[in-house]
Amino acid sequence: MVWNNSKNAQLQFFETIGVLVVLTFFVIIGLVFYSSIQERLSKRAVRQEISKSMIEYVQTLTTNPLLACSFETASKTACFDFYKALSVNATQQEFKHYYESLFGNALITLQEIYPGNSSITIFNSSKPGMNYEQVLVPLNIYNPVTDEYKLGVLIVRRYVIS
């Protein structure tokens, strides 16, 4: 009788341990899924923040008087002055700190599409090995000497810490 009671008790004990092991297993699986979900959510939030700041950066850049066309009336399209772009390119080293405070860590290139296909690197403070976000903006390149508009693309590559 005592022997049977002991056996029953042992069986119940093992049963309890079995239940605990299974429960622990499910809790661990749940924790793994939860942490994976949290990680993806936070990565997505970071990506969205970077994208938002990139949009603001590009909009500020295309209206910067250092580069934008100068007209009496507001222009509907993004327009860069060819000679202003050349000037920023030529004075990159001389005013390096000023441009870096303005443009940050970025590579800004003005690529002519029509009629020619030349390009000007307006600003370059690229950091090799860093991740970057890139935006392409179709715009006009205005030559105030000949009063001509060329079709171009502004390639903005902004380096981010990921």
Partner 1 sequence: MVLKKSQMELMGLAFIVVLIAIGLLFLIVLNLGKKQPAEKQIYQQVKIANSFILSFLKTSACNTSVEKLIYDCFTSKSITCSGVDSCSFLINISKIALERTFGVWGYNYNLSFTGNSYRFNVTKGFCLERESPGLQLIPLYPIPSNVIVQLYICKGSSNVNVTFGTGFYAPPSNTPGTEPSSGQS
| Dist CA 48 CA 44 (whole Å) | 6
Instruction: Tell me the C-alpha to C-alpha distance, in Å, between residue 108 and each of 83, 94, 150.
Output: 15, 17, 18
* Strand pairing category for 131-143 and 79-81: parallel
Window 5 to 24, contacts with partner 1 (CB under 8 A): none
Query: Does 149 engage in binding with partner 1 (CB under 8 A)?
Result: yes
Q: What's the chain's Rg over C-alpha atoms?
A: 30
Check if the beta carbon of residue 114 is closer than 8 Å to that of residue 53: no
Closest distance of CB 62 from partner 1, Å: 10
Pick the piece of the chain touching partner 1 (CB under 8 A) from 6-14, 38-46, 92-100, 123-131. 38-46
Nearer to partner 1, 130 or 136 (CB): 136
Query: Does 144 engage in binding with partner 1 (CB under 8 A)?
Result: no
Query: Which positions touch partner 1 (CB under 8 A)?
Result: 26, 29-30, 33, 36-37, 40-41, 44, 47-48, 50-52, 54-55, 76-79, 113-115, 117, 133, 135-140, 148-153
